[in-house]
Structure 1
């Protein structure tokens, strides 16, 4: 392949990974943008129900998720570095308009358009990080994901006070970080944007998918159920906290604790899975997560907050690991694997959030939250269908050094 030489498989390119990871922080802050609008929309918009809130979040989730495998296949063949910064700027621009529109249909349209920005960002960014991460792929990709989770965590911490002080018209200024990060990526994102190796033809991709179908179905099932739990919590917990007369600021602090803990859990999950296997980490962490969420639900005060942090850490500890597992299942189609896991599978879960919204409208927010807390156990049980655990052996690590 002509052009820049392929990245060494032995060395980690920390500077370029750092630039991409910083961009991931902003991208995922934007991805957690709409849930922060919900408490204000409920107050300011008559008839804004939990179902309408779920539809709004699902519109973003569908376009940001279901299109990712197609972008992934395209990127495996072509590689388009510019999609990183254009996608980020597009996303920020669409979301910055959401606070100044007064029509629900237009609001849903903006949400759907914004989703396309993250859809083009994630497959390209995850593939770049994979290629730059040497022989410590789960750990490094966990770090990349952790930066995204930090962005998710900063969403409520930064946006809710902004909207509280200046109202929803303040959304217009949130395009500024998108412009700055787009310029940073334009200047410093890696030039060797096509993965090393051959560019797969469609027939080769279909063969790879068929060969790894059982493994991929299990991975997609795990991610879909986990995504339903995660996206559902981001949608319903702000409404749940509001129903308990918790202030918007206090609610944002609790969400931040859960998401920051998830970022830490994701990095630890990468270390554990590289040593003891993907399957053990995925199954164990998800099954443990549900009891911790219920402990948060039924306790009060500091103890409740501690349980929420632990629950967030265990729920998200498998996030990057499932992406790596898919890339290992179809190693010649890394961007497609990232699109299937970070996009398509997550989109299935995100779409089902509408059902959670209906549960909230019919039986109450607490019932919807109760259902969400049960879901990680089911995701863990699906993980038992994985064919292999794939730990990196000690001898492999020595040989790679």
Structure 2
């Protein structure tokens, strides 16, 4: 039997978690903003090294999330949200100090990833429980705040690094400390654990029963994540190669991510009305031609296409999380770990291959490969089960 907690929708608590998610994902977009400055300091810094650096954070922040999710389904540890945020803030704030030591830089990036791995399953499951019958819309809002945080990353960090150098990373620990205190006092005090989720055998049976559909969802997310993480890594380098200033490049990345956040909220509404599968397939298939239209046009029109492509790419972000939680409803935190974590980690690991493509065939080739990936993800989504729309179920 799934977790059922009858209570009014707690918008204030969801708001606190969403604000924390915004900061958490701002930190998650920290390392890609450092890359152009690392290259200026060390011209021999390669695209492959850049990909490894970003992937080290993505992998540790993602691969272990299903294990953390399983543990949270059994125990429910509220402190994961504020300790995880503070840990990540401290680790990333030290990266600019050690930028001359690549091995230490990668180590700090990997350690920082553990903080977001602790935050996401706990926070997203709290939102799920507090959202009543509006799970897709409110979880979309929660995730959209995270995407807005991603969008703010280039806008805030690039001017900071350009003005004060990479040593300025030290001051970025302050927002993390403040938000951790906010979570300490105002994060919801609810029990996430379920008696039915505590038995490992029942978890294995639940996952095995839903293995085919979960595999389709995880595959879609992994390919979409490769496109997303790859673009965050390669677009700043691509814009730099095209002689755009770091500020202008950061504005373009911000536009893509901001419209992606808006697309995520819109996608939640559409999926509630017309079904998860239709939204996922349609938006991802549409993203590829929009990205290539951006590549082949210039000026304002090019920027418009990039904005639309970002919205299409990220409109399914929260929907895939809800879809997985509906497939294994007794293990919502583990489902969040699989989708927000493991699948994204697999995509993050593959970014190293995109770095190799950039080193051998150029950044244009690497970006072109990334623009093709949403179409592949959309085709994989065809293997998902076509469930009734959530709003139709409520009416029935």
State TM-score, norm by structure 1.
0.96
Q: Residue 268 of structure 1 corresponds to which residue in structure 2? A: 266
Q: Residue 90 of structure 1 corresponds to which residue in structure 2? A: 87
1:343/1:112 Cα in 2 relative to 1: closer, same or farther (>3 Å)? same
Pairs within 5 Å for 1:300-339: 300-339=298-337
Partner Cα separation in structure 1 for residue 32 and residue 14 of structure 2: 28
Deviations 1:55-75 (A, max 9, x none): 000100110010100000000
Q: Residue 56 of structure 1 corresponds to which residue in structure 2? A: 53
Query: 2:33 matched to 1:36?
Result: yes
Deviation at 1:392, TM superposition (A): 1.6
Deviations 1:150-197 (A, max 9, x none): 000000000000000000000000000000000000000011142466
**Matched position secondary structure for 2:163:** helix
1:214/1:6 Cα in 2 relative to 1: closer, same or farther (>3 Å)? closer
Structure 1, unaligned stretches of length 5 or more? none
Partner Cα separation in structure 2 for residue 83 and residue 392 of structure 1: 30
Alignment equivalent of 1:179, drawn from 177, 180, 202: 177
Deviations 1:211-260 (A, max 9, x none): 10011000000000000000000000000000000000000000000000
Alignment equivalent of 1:139, drawn from 137, 140, 154: 137
Q: CA RMSD in A?
A: 1.2
Pairs within 5 Å for 1:54-133: 54-101=51-98, 102-133=100-131
Pairs within 5 Å for 1:198-347: 198-347=196-345
Partner Cα separation in structure 1 for residue 266 and residue 277 of structure 2: 15
Give the paired residue count: 393
Deviation at 1:206, TM superposition (A): 0.1
Deviations 1:253-300 (A, max 9, x none): 000000000000000000000010000000000000000000000000
Runs (4+) of structure 1 exceeding 2 A deviation are 5-9, 195-200, 396-399
Partner Cα separation in structure 2 for residue 343 and residue 390 of structure 1: 26
Partner Cα separation in structure 2 for residue 40 and residue 79 of structure 1: 40
1:193/1:252 Cα in 2 relative to 1: closer, same or farther (>3 Å)? farther
Partner Cα separation in structure 2 for residue 12 and residue 251 of structure 1: 40
State TM-score, norm by structure 2.
0.97
